[in-house]
Structure 1
Amino acid sequence: MYDPLVDSTPGRSQPHTPSYWVDTAGAAPPDDGPVQGNHEVDVAIIGGGYTGLSSAYHLAREHGIKAVVLEANQTAWGCSGRNGSFARISGGRVPLATLVEKYGRDTARAFFAEMQQALQTTRDLIDIGEIDCDKQPDGVFKVAIKPEHVAGLKREVEMYNGLLNYPARFVDAAGVQQVHAGAESYGALNLPDGFCMHPLKLAWGIQRLAREAGAKVHPGSPVTEWTSAAGGHRLVTPGGVVTARRVIVATNGYTSRKLNPVLTGRILPVHSQIIVTRPLTAEEKVNSLPGGDCMFDTRNLLFYYRRLPDDRILFGGRSAVNGRDAENPVHRQRLLDALCRKFPVLKGVQLDYNWGGWVAVTNNSLPHCYQVSGMQNVYTGGGYAGSGVSFSIQTGKRLAQMLAGDARPTPVPFLHEAPKPFPLQSFLRVGQRMAYAWYRFKDAE
C-alpha cells in the first residue's frame, strides 16, 4: 500500500481500492482526462478529494474563478472515496472540554459553529446538486463501552447544553438497546445532527457540480515536480506542465513527502481500516443495529460503525502503523473480533469487504486552512483526523474564500495557523506503535 511517509508518489492513474463503496457507486462521472501539453492557469488545485473538489466548485460558483484540479489517480481515490461515511458536526479529534481549557470558551463556541456550518454546507451541496448519495436520516450516538464511561458522557451533555446551547441528550442503557443491541452499550451521548451516506457518490456528485460550474478535473495527473518563481508555480505532470499563479494543496493524509519540502512533517498519516459483513438476517438486525444511525464508542482507539441500507454492517477503526503491514490479516481479524464482542449474535459472520486508507493527524489533532508561509499564493487545508467528511467540504469552501481575498474567513485562530511540524520525525512510527499499545491496554482494562 502507498505509504506517504515512505513512498515518493501515490502513483499515476491507479484504480480505486476495492471496497463496498466502489462496488455500489455505479459509473464514475465524466472528467477532463489526464493533463496533456502545457497550460497556464490562474488556480491549480492538487488533490481531487472532498477538499479539492469543494474548492473548485466554490471558486467557480461563488467567485467566478475556474480552477484546474490535478489528481494523481482517480478522483476521491484517497480518504474521500474510502471513509466510514459519517457526515457529522466534527473536525479533528479534540474533546470539547480540552478545547475550552486550551483555547477558551469563545473559541470553542466559534469552532463548534464552524463545524455546524460545515455540516450545513454538505447538506446544501447535496440538495443543490440533487446528489443521490444514499443519505440516511440524522442521528449520531457515542456509546459507552463501560459503566464508568457514563459519567463522562453526562458531563459532555451538560457542556453541549450549557456552553453551546445545543440539544444533545444522554440516553440510558435501556434506551440505547433500542438502537444498539448487544454488549458494550451502557448509555450514550446522542447528537440530533449528523447522517450517514455513500461517500464516493457524494464525492462524484461534487465533481459533477464543479465541472458544471466551469472547473477542470484531471485524473491521472500527479505533480512530480514543483518549482516556483515570481511569475507563479510550475507543476510538472507526466503528460504536461501546468503553470499556475495560485495553488491549493488538498492532498491531506495522502501528501507525498516529495511534493514540497515546505509541507513535509506537518501531517502524520494514520491508517484506518473498514470491514463490511454479508447482509444480516432479520434476527441479527434486531440483536445488533436495529437502526441506521452513526455509531462510535468511547475507546481511546475508537470503533465506528453503522448498518448499511442493504442490511450489512460497516465496522472500522485504527489498524496498521505503516503501509508494509496494512495487508496483514491480523488487522482484519482484530476488527472482526471487536465487532463480535459488541454483537455476539454475529459470531462467525462472513465478511464480504475489507479495505483501508490514510487519515491525517496534526500535532494538535485539529484541522487547518491557511496560506503557506514562505511561498507566494499557496494555500492548504486538511488534518481532519478521521472526522472530516463535512469539515473537508467546508475547508474547500474556506480555501476558495481565502484565494478570493478573505485572509481569515473564520473567527477561529487555530484554523488559520500552520500546524507545527512533528518532532523527531524519524521516530514517528515508533512512537505511534507505543501509543497504540498503551491505548489498547487502557481500553481493555
Structure 2
Amino acid sequence: MTTKTPRRIYPDYTYTRAPIERCYWAEAVPEAALAAPPLPGPARVEALVIGGGYTGLNAALSLAQAGRQVTLIDAAFPAFGASGRNGGFCCLGSARASDGQLRRRFGPEAPADLRRAEAASIAHVDRLTRVHGIDVDRHSTGETILAHSPKAMEKLAASAESYSADYGTEMRVLSKADLAIEGLDGPTWYGGLHNPLGFALHPRKYAAGLLRAALAAGVTVHGETPALAIEQQGRTLSVTTPRGTVTADRVLVATNGYTAENLAPWFRGRTLPAQSSAIASRPLTEAEMQAQGYWSRQMAYEDRRLLHYFHLTPDGRMVFGQRGGLLSSPATEAKLAKLVRADFDRAFPAWSHVETPHYWSGMVCLTASLTPYCGPVPGLPGAFTAFGYHGNGVAMGSYLGARMAELARDEDPSEILPASFRAPPPRFPLGRFRRLLLAAEYTQARLFDL
C-alpha cells in the first residue's frame, strides 16, 4: 500500500464531495448510479484511462470500440469532477486565444481550423447521444450571448457577420425588444446575438449514458482508485494506485482541472484550475416566468469576462452560474452561494422570492497557451493527455477524448487535430502560487467589465 498523496494548488476540501452535496444534477443521477468498485490489486492492461469524466469516457469508449482492452480508473466515481457538475452547455468554445494570437502562433488558417473543431465537437456529442440512445433532457437550439452594456451590444452586432462566416451558420442579432418577445428579458441586458449551434443537456445523464456505453463495449471501470504517479518501465508505463500498480502499454490522462501536480513531472504547472459556482431554483410557475419576461429554454450567457451563464431546464428550474471564486472552504462556499444568489436577483428581480435550494461548485481548467491541448505527454512514451477547455468541456472534452484515443492508436495528429490543439502549453509562472494570476484577472475584470 502506497502513502503517496496527490499534490494540488487548492485545499483538500476542493476535491471532496462537500462542494457537490447540493448539486441539482445529482437528484436524477446520484453517486450510486455512477459508482464503480475499486481496483482490487495490481493489474496488467493494454490501455489505462485515468479520469472518468467526458474526456476519459469518450477515450475509453473509442478504444474499446476499436478492439482494445481498456481499463478506466477514477479517484472518486465517474463524472465526479466537472463532468457531473457543469452548467449543462454543449456549445461552441474551448479557447481564450484571440484570432490574432492564433494566426501569429499557428498560421493564417488557425482561427478557422479551431472553429471547425468547435462545431465538430457539438456534432460529436449529438451523434453519441443518438447512437447510444442517451436521454439527456435535451433542450435549447443554440445559445444566446447577452450584451451587458450598450457598447457591448454594438460589438456583438458588429461581430454577427464574421461569426456567421466562421461557423457557416446564421447568427441573429437581437434587440432589447427582441429579447422581450423571445422570453429572454432582463433589466441588465441591452440585446444579444443568437447562435444556432449547440444545445443544453443534463450533465450527469449524459455521463451516465457514456458510462453505460463504455461498459457495454467491454471497458473495465474502477472508482475510488486515484492515480498517484506515472513512470516509464522499459517499454511499458507503470501507474501507482493505493491498491497496487497498473502496468499498461498506453496511458491516457483525462483529469483536466483535477490533475495532480505530481502525477508526472511534465504536468507540474501546466493547468490553472478556476472555480465556477452555480445555483438552481425550484420549478418556476408560468405566471412567475411571465412576470419576469423570461421563459425561453435557450442557453444564455453574458459577454462579461466574469460571465454569468444560465438556462431554464425542461421542468422550469433556472440553473444560474458564474466564475470568480479563488478560495475553497465551507465558509468560502457559503459566501459564494450568497454572491451568486445576489447576482441572480439582479438579473431576475421578479424572482427574488423564488427559492434556490441547490448550490454547488467545481473546477474549470485554463492553460497558459489559452488553447486546449491534446497529444502525447512529453517524457512518457505511450502516454497521452487532453485538457484545458476553458469552461466549455461538455462538447470539446468529449471530442478530444475520442481524438486522444485515435492518437493512442498511432493515428497522425495533423490529420485529426488543429495545430493550436497539438502544441503543448507552457507552464504558468508563479508555480503553486499561480492562483494569484486569477486574482489579478478578476480584479481587472471587475474594474473594466462595465
TM surpasses 0.5? yes
Aligned to 2:178: 175
Match of 2:421 in 1: 415
State the distance in 1 between where 2:257 and 2:22 align: 19
Q: Which amino acid aligns with 2:228?
A: T
Gaps of 5+ in 2: 1-5
| RMSD after superposition | 2.4
Separation in 1 of the partners of 2:247 and 2:79? 24
Q: Is the Cα contact below 8 Å between 2:306 and 2:324 reproduced in 1?
A: no
The CA distance in 1 between the partners of 2:36 and 2:433, in whole Å, is 41
| Alignment of structure 1 residues 88-103 onto 2, 5 Å | 88-94=91-97, 99=102, 103=106
2:325 paired residue among 320, 325, 339: 320
Closer, same or farther in 2 for the Cα pair 1:106/1:7, shift >3 Å? same
Q: C-alpha distance in 2, partners of 1:104/1:154? A: 27
Instruction: Measure, in 2, the Cα distance between the counterparts of 1:303 and 1:324.
Output: 22
Q: Distance in 1 between matches of 2:328 and 2:188?
A: 31
Q: What displacement does 1:104 show?
A: 4.8
Q: Please give the secondary structure, in 2, of the residue aligned with 1:201.
A: helix
Q: Give me the TM-score of the superposition, normalised by structure 1.
A: 0.93
Deviation at 1:278, TM superposition (A): 1.9
1:25 Cα deviation from its structure 2 partner? 2.1
Letter in 2 for 1:293: Q
Q: Post-superposition shift, 1:3?
A: 8.8
1:354 corresponds to: 359
1:369 matched to which residue of 2? Answer: 374
Aligned to 2:120: 117
CA contact (8 A) 1:320 1:326 kept: no
- Code of the aligned partner of 2:45: V
- Superposition map of 1:41-440 within 5 A: 41-61=45-65, 63-94=66-97, 99=102, 103-177=106-180, 178-286=182-290, 287-324=292-329, 327-408=332-413, 409-440=415-446
CA deviations on 1:5-35 (whole Å, 9 max, x unpaired) are: 1458987999964310001226755765211
Q: How many corresponding residue pairs?
A: 442
Question: For residues 130-172 of structure 1, what are the alpha-carbon distances to aligned partners after superposition, in whole Å with 9 as ceiling and x for unaligned?
Answer: 1111111413000001111112112221212234432112111
1:22 alignment partner AA:
A
Alignment TM-score, normalising by the size of structure 2:
0.92
Instruction: Give 1:216 shift.
Output: 1.0
Per mean C-alpha deviation after superposition, the further-off stretch among 353-362 and 218-227 is 218-227
Task: Kindly indicate whether the alpha-carbon contact (under 8 Å) linking 1:41 and 1:245 is maintained by their aligned counterparts in 2.
Answer: yes
Range with greater deviation from structure 2 (420-429 or 247-256)? 420-429
Answer whether contact 1:295 1:304 (CA < 8 A) is retained.
Answer: yes
Counterpart for residue 38 of structure 1: 42
Q: How far, CA to CA, are the matches of 1:29 and 1:328 in structure 2?
A: 26
Mean Cα deviation higher: 147-156 or 51-60: 147-156
Q: Tell me the CA shift for residue 117 of structure 1.
A: 1.0
Taking every aligned residue pair, what percent have the same amino acid on both sides?
30
* Structure 1 contact 87–390 (Cα < 8 Å) conserved: yes
Q: What residue identity is the alignment partner of 1:312? A: R
Report the more deviating stretch, 140-149 or 425-434.
425-434
**Aligned equivalents of 1:83, 1:326: Cα separation in 2:** 22
Q: Quick one: structure 1 residues 341 and 13, their matched pair in 2 at CA, closer, same or farther if it must change by over 3 Å?
A: closer
Q: Does 1:441 align with 2:447?
A: yes
1:290 shift after superposition: 0.8
SS at match of 2:44: strand
In structure 1, the partner of 2:3 is none
Separation in 1, partners of 2:303, 2:411: 38
Letter in 2 for 1:430: L
Aligned-pair distance for 1:186? Answer: 1.2
Give 3-state SS (helix, strand or coil) of 2:207's partner.
Answer: helix
Distance in 1 between residues matched to 2:103 and 2:294, nearest whole Å: 34
Distance in 1 (CA, whole Å) between partners of 2:174 and 2:100 is 20
